[in-house]
Amino acid sequence: MSTSKRRLKLAPEVLPDPRLSTRDGAPRATVRSRTKLHMQHLLAAAAATSAMACSKCNNSGYGVVDPMPAPARCPGLSSGMTVAAAWRVAADGGAPVVVVDVEVGLAKPGTQFTAGAPASTFQGTVTASKSTATHAHVEVEPRAYAAPIMISIPAECPPGTTPGSPASIQVTVILDKAPVDGQPLTATLRDDS
C-alpha cells in the first residue's frame, strides 16, 4: 500500500456574468435608482402628512413651524394700562366670581377698548362684561380654583396702525388665594395675538 498524500486543488471560481440580469425582459434597477425611488416616496408621504396636519391651522403659519404664539396685532397696546382683580363672594352663598377691572390709563394715545364688546374666556363662565372706551369690567365664575384664568377683552389699535384683525388685551388672573370677598388676586396684562 502506498502512503502518498493526494494534493488537493482549488476549484475554479465561478462568478456571475457582469451584465445586468433581466426580469420579465426589463433590466433590473440599480441600487441608486431604487434608493432614489424610495426617497421620493418618503418625500411624498412627508408632504401629505404636513398638509393633513395643517388642515385645521389658522393659516397664520405659526401652527406648524413655530410653537410660539403669533406676534401681537398691535404691539404695546397693553403698556400703560392698569389691572385689578379680586374675589367677590355673594352673601347668599352663591358661587364666587373673579372681578377684573382694566383702565386704559397712560396707554398709547388713541388706545381704547371696543365699547360694548363682550369679553371671553375658556377657563370659566363670563357672568358680566361691560366696556367703555377707557374702562373694562369683567366678572368670571371660574371652572377650577387652581388654574389661572385668561380673559380676552376686545380693544382697538391706536390711529395710524393697521392690524390684521381685531386686537384684544389678554388678562391673566392667578387664583392663588382662597375665595374670600374682596381678596385681591395677582393679574397681568399682555397684548393678545
- Distance CA(149)–CA(106), nearest Å, equals 25
What pLDDT, on the 0 to 100 scale, is given for residue 69? 62
Q: Is the dihedral of CA 117, 123, 127, 133 positive or negative?
A: negative
Residue 139 pLDDT: 92
87 alpha-carbon distance from chain centroid: 30
**pLDDT reported for residue 162:** 59
Helical H segments across 128-191, by residue range: none
Cα-flanking dihedrals φ and ψ of residue 164, to 5°?
-70, -30
CB burial of 54-77 (b: ≥16 within 10 Å; e: otherwise) equals eeeeeeeeeeeeeeeeeebbbeeb
Whether residue 76 contacts residue 191, with contact meaning beta carbons closer than 8 Å, is answered with yes
Q: Which three cell numbers stand for residue 34?
A: 431604487
pLDDT tens for the chain, 193 residues: list them: 567 788 888 888 887 766 655 555 556 668 888 888 888 888 888 887 776 665 555 555 555 555 666 666 777 778 878 899 999 888 787 888 999 999 887 666 777 888 888 898 888 889 999 988 888 999 999 887 767 889 998 888 777 665 555 788 889 998 888 888 888 998 988 887 5
φ/ψ of residue 48, rounded to 5: -65, -40
Q: What is the 3-state secondary structure (H, E, C) of 23-35?
A: ECCEECCCHHHHH
